Structure formats: structure tokens, C-alpha cells
Structure 1
Amino acid sequence: LADVYWGDLDVLLLDLPPGTGDIAISVAQLVPNAEILVVTTPQQAAAEVAERAGSIAVQTHQKIVGVVE
């Protein structure tokens, strides 16, 4: 993200792997004012991962704008 000149953006959409690992935390640090749209599937395991991702977003002061199942 840091090595590219993006210009003036209205939206930058990042499709991250599921979970709350290093990638999600690194993105939270690089884009501190990000707004998060959590996308999940109806399976219980996926819902649990989405919930953890939402918790990380709250802890890193990012705004959750919605959840799509």
C-alpha cells in the first residue's frame, strides 16, 4: 500500500483473507481511519471469524459500516 501513488481516492477496497492475523492488524495500522465492511457466510465457524474480525476492528478504532452474509 505504501509503495504506490494512489492519487485522490473515494474508495479503496481491500479483500483480506479471513481471520484476525498479521495482515488485518498491519492494514489497521496502515489505514487507521478505515471503515470496515465484514463479509461472512452462514456457517458457524465463519460467523465466529467475522465476530473476531469485528472485535479487532473495534480495538483498532476502525468503524464497522456493515455486515454482509
Structure 2
Amino acid sequence: MRRTDFWERLREVFGPAYASSVAADQVLPQLGGRTIDSALADGEEVHLIWRAVCDHYSERVPARLR
């Protein structure tokens, strides 16, 4: 998964304004207690970050985006 695909999916799930807030502020246990932005900055693979988002927000992420 490319970063552009990741951001498109995140914006689709949370909306354009809230997606950036989720990425900056929400600490995900699946990312070792990091935010999405921190995991990206640390060089974590984008598909693993997306999987963490899907796991953490399973009720919000539609099956077609998983």
C-alpha cells in the first residue's frame, strides 16, 4: 500500500478534517503505543499501520477498505 492510498482510506473513513486529528492524536496499542503519525515517521510499513487502524476502529472501517 502506498502512503497516498493510506491517506485516501483514512480520509474516507474519518472525513478529511478528522483523519488528520486521528493520525496525530490517537495512540494505538497495535502500533506499540504510538500515533499513526509517529509510526509513519518511524518508518513503519504503511500496510501494517492500516491493519492497526482496521483493528482499532473495526466498527468504522468498512469491509471493502480492509
Structure number with higher helix proportion: 2
Structure number with greater CO (CA < 8 Å, separation at least 6) is 1
TM-score (norm 1): 0.31
> Which structure has the greater CA radius of gyration?
1
Structure number with higher strand proportion: 1
